[in-house]
Amino acid sequence: MSAVHEAEPVGGPIVTRGFRAVSLVLAIGVVFMIYRFMAGLGASTGLSDGYPWGIWIAFDVVTGTALACGGYAVAILVYILNKGQYHPLVRPAILTSALGYSLAGLAITIDVGRGWLLYRVPLYANHWNGNLWSFWYF
């Protein structure tokens, strides 16, 4: 009895109705992303000094990472408490998490004013910082 099931292709078409719908959302997002780099964060997000983070961060970072975290939670359950018996659950769970965290990480580079400086975070960070630890967990 092996608890690890082999990876195999799922098959089926890639461009489905769902794929098209999500691509449309993505395309709208790209338009606003470009607008943000032309007009600034205030004009593109409606954020202000009164609401410096707003629903923008609440959705893409807080909600996004929390959803993505579910996959890792499943992986922990399977590997640690379940001793790998439900291993077929692990691959889709990890894939979801990896995509979720990567996209949230990408979104942050647009959220912050100067995303291209974020490479410095692991190098010169202020080590006792909460924001930094949220970074580590990506």
Partner 1 sequence: MSIDRRSLIKCGAAGAGVAIAASTLPALAARPRKEAPADAVGMLYDTTLCIGCKTCVVACREANGKPPDTSNSPGRLYDMPLDLNGTTKNVIKLYKDPDGAERSYMKAQCMHCIDPACVGACMLGALQKRELGIVTYKQEFCSGCRYCQMACPFNIPKFEWSSRAPLMDKCEMCVHRVVKGQQPGCTEVCPRKAIVFGKRADLLAEAKRRIAGSPKKYKGYRKGDAPRVYGETEGGGTQVLYVSHVPFEKLGLPDLGDKPVPEVAQTVQHGIYQGFVAPVALYAVLGAVIMRNKKAEGQKGKAS
Of 13-21, 26-34, 63-71, 130-138, which part binds partner 1 (CB under 8 A)? 130-138
Cβ atoms of 100 and 67 closer than 8 Å? yes
- CB of 108: closest distance to partner 1 in angstroms? 8
Residue 49 binds partner 1, judged by CB under 8 A? yes
End-to-end CA distance of the chain: 34
Closer residue to partner 1 in complex, CB, 17/114: 114
Residues 104, 110, 116, CA angle at the centre, nearest 5°? 105
Residue 38 binds partner 1, judged by CB under 8 A? yes
Question: What is the DSSP secondary-structure string of 84-102?
Answer: TTTGGGHHHHHHHHHHHHH
**Footprint on this chain of partner 1 (rule: CB under 8 A):** 1-3, 37-43, 47-49, 52-53, 76, 79-81, 83-85, 111-115, 117-118, 120-121, 124-126, 128-133, 135
